[in-house]
Amino acid sequence: MRPIATCLAALLVTVGVALEPSAWGAGTASEGNATTFVGTGQQYGVWSVSNKRLRLKVSPTTSMSPSRCMDAMIDWDKGGLAHYDSRVVRSCLPGMSEETDPGGDLYWDETDPIFISNVLATRMGWGYVVSASNLSVVGWERFANTGSGSGSLDAYAPGTGTQGYARVRTRYNNGSVLSCNPLPVTSFAGSGGCS
């Protein structure tokens, strides 16, 4: 007979494995997860077209420059040259992680009819570091298996609440958090779900 502690440990490991996002699919552009290490910290992404959801997390170390922000980004592919646009989680506060839906189930659900009827896979996914002053990209690394989109990032990352095409959650270096979930988008300037 095994000790109770051993049985409990085995149960916890089994439950952990069952909940692991990699169960969605190991390394494809439609189902997967990856970690990158850009700047001083790491970025994590999980994506699933079949479950219509994703999770992003950035974890900068305390040595990240206060003039930098750390991002994790996924962009969904609608086929051809079209895409569903960026989903970004950003922390500009050294030593403070940020993630999708931290008070809930940790995921962003994609329930927009455009996503449900058109999205095929990820177009691209990145961990990157940007300038806190103007959001210019200063370093990046692709999440493994995230589509075949552009080989490099645009010169600038999307802002929080300033572009209607991006869903962005930002922890600023003063500790405040703002989010933009532009569904439905009512203007390119970002109105419609942004606050």
pTM score, two decimals? 0.79
One-letter amino acid for residue 173 of the chain: N
Cα 94 to Cα 61, 72, 118, 128, 133, distances in angstroms: 6, 15, 38, 15, 15
**Residue 42, pLDDT score:** 97
Residues of the chain with pLDDT under 70: 1-26, 81, 149-153, 161-165, 181-195
* In-domain check, residue 185: no
Residues spanned by the domain of 156: 25-180
* In-domain check, residue 13: no
* In-domain check, residue 187: no
* In-domain check, residue 68: yes
